[in-house]
Structure 1
């Protein structure tokens, strides 16, 4: 365990103790976590229709973003079940295998010449099917592996925008190094202008304190996020990648973390940003406007 992680765990324990002794006053608005859980119930349990529901499957989201002229990963194949996975020697040397609808890293395989990069070991087709489970009913997609923006031999970092319409509340960058030992992964929480976020958001992730260099493609990426957010005009998390070919859209996440594991302070803050039923007061805008960008710092 890194010293920063030990210190982070100690700080979290101290914060929880303080909150038990002196809880903050109840806010005059619903918490962000309550909004997310209410949306899930409204969309899936109650069957309320909303245009953004069509963007929940990865393919639906990528098709929409592609139609706007933004880059998405190349899709090699769609599999109805994991048992229809081809032999690995029939696939490109590098590829990503992921479920069509799940928004976590569960059952995601980043394969480079038969080596799973996040498990740090070689896998066969049979190994992958056994890990997922042959009775798993969800479909899968096989898409290109996106590489790090600075040209190193490493997968591209995730950059996630928490959008209320065209306004990013904050941005998270994730450097994924392992699915087994998640302490090896690194998380940066920041403002849209690439400054460290002064509030702790995640209750269970160690937030890095030293900011990394801004990727050259980040200003364009922010512009794309704001363009898409303006068109949808709801709350949504836009998951993108900083790659060696520029910004690439990954997927939409409408229920980030299922509304769980937010600190109370961030839960109150994000809840205060939520307007109307779906996060913004106004209906989605179809106006054509130029994509917004920012000047690269430094």
Structure 2
């Protein structure tokens, strides 16, 4: 049996290649840090504390600069995450997958039904809801999806979990309620630490016509918090879903082992469906009104635990330790 002698020096060409790669990676990390700081300062008018982060925004900035790890990369990938969800919750909570491919082909397009949702797996804001395929040409959708696939989402705000995701197109069944409407989107901000857990529910309503955003506790008390979009008026306030407990249970199950993650879920005819998992919402640039919620969420967020995760095995050990 051959046993490598690790005491032998590396050949000079290989050593030089390794040194060049190492230096290139260090330059990239320095570039990421400078750009993230510049964007944070532009957004908030102050320099974030990355050595001793206190607010949620500061901690998300720290996380996104150090999130190019297998576990964060796998779960930020909108295709790869499906395996994790099936393992944790079961296949019944996944929206049916119609197709996935590195590029849109004519055969793929022609095989799709009249209604579907198509998106890129490697970032955010790369999706299209198709309600009538007959009104859409292959060439139009091809141009749009090629644009998504050519985009390196990580470069926008240096969310490093997206840096090495291989771009693919994901096509899912379009889920509509009895009225033909897209169901409500429930986003669960889940915080877990050794001492306690917190869950804050974000509800985005009328996303395509007068977008409103509201935040609730797990017993459906609205919080006096505004982020990016106006709160709903009293007459349009989102109602408590009948299956709220089931939604919360699914979110907690998926978030076990993580110090923080946002779990997006849909409720349709009493069934819970998975949307996505997000580790750095808004890239840490969302402005809280009033600002003390940024500090409160920062208190909930055990960043050191989050940065200790490297693999799914690490995550599973952390999850089992909480049971």
Question: TM-score, structure 1 length as denominator?
Answer: 0.72
Unaligned segments of structure 1, at least 5 residues? 1-18, 116-121, 290-298
Match of 2:205 in 1: 175
- Asked if the contact 1:98/1:140 (under 8 Å) is kept, the reply is yes
1:276/1:261 CA distance change after superposition, 3 Å: closer
Note the aligned Cα RMSD (angstroms): 3.0
Q: Tell me whether 1:258 sits opposite 2:277 in the alignment.
A: no
- Asked if the contact 1:93/1:113 (under 8 Å) is kept, the reply is yes
1:53/1:127 CA distance change after superposition, 3 Å: closer
Name which of 92, 97, 101 aligns with 1:79.
101
1:198/1:135 CA distance change after superposition, 3 Å: closer
Match of 2:265 in 1: 240
User: Which structure has the highest helix share of the two?
Assistant: 2
Q: Tell me whether 1:41 sits opposite 2:68 in the alignment.
A: no
Match of 1:136 in 2: 149
Q: Secondary structure at the match of 2:318?
A: coil
CA distance in 2, matches of 1:190, 1:86: 45
Match of 1:63 in 2: 83
Unaligned segments of structure 2, at least 5 residues? 1-43, 151-166, 309-314
Match of 2:133 in 1: 114
Match of 1:249 in 2: 274
Q: Secondary structure at the match of 2:79?
A: helix
CA distance in 1, matches of 2:211, 2:55: 28
Query: Aligned runs of 1:203-218 on 2, under 5 Å?
Result: 204-210=228-234, 211-218=237-244
Match of 2:21 in 1: none
1:121-143 Cα offsets, whole Å, 9 max, x none, are x4322212223445833311001
Match of 2:302 in 1: 275
Q: Secondary structure at the match of 1:249?
A: strand
> By how many angstroms is 1:199 displaced?
3.0
> By how many angstroms is 1:249 displaced?
1.0
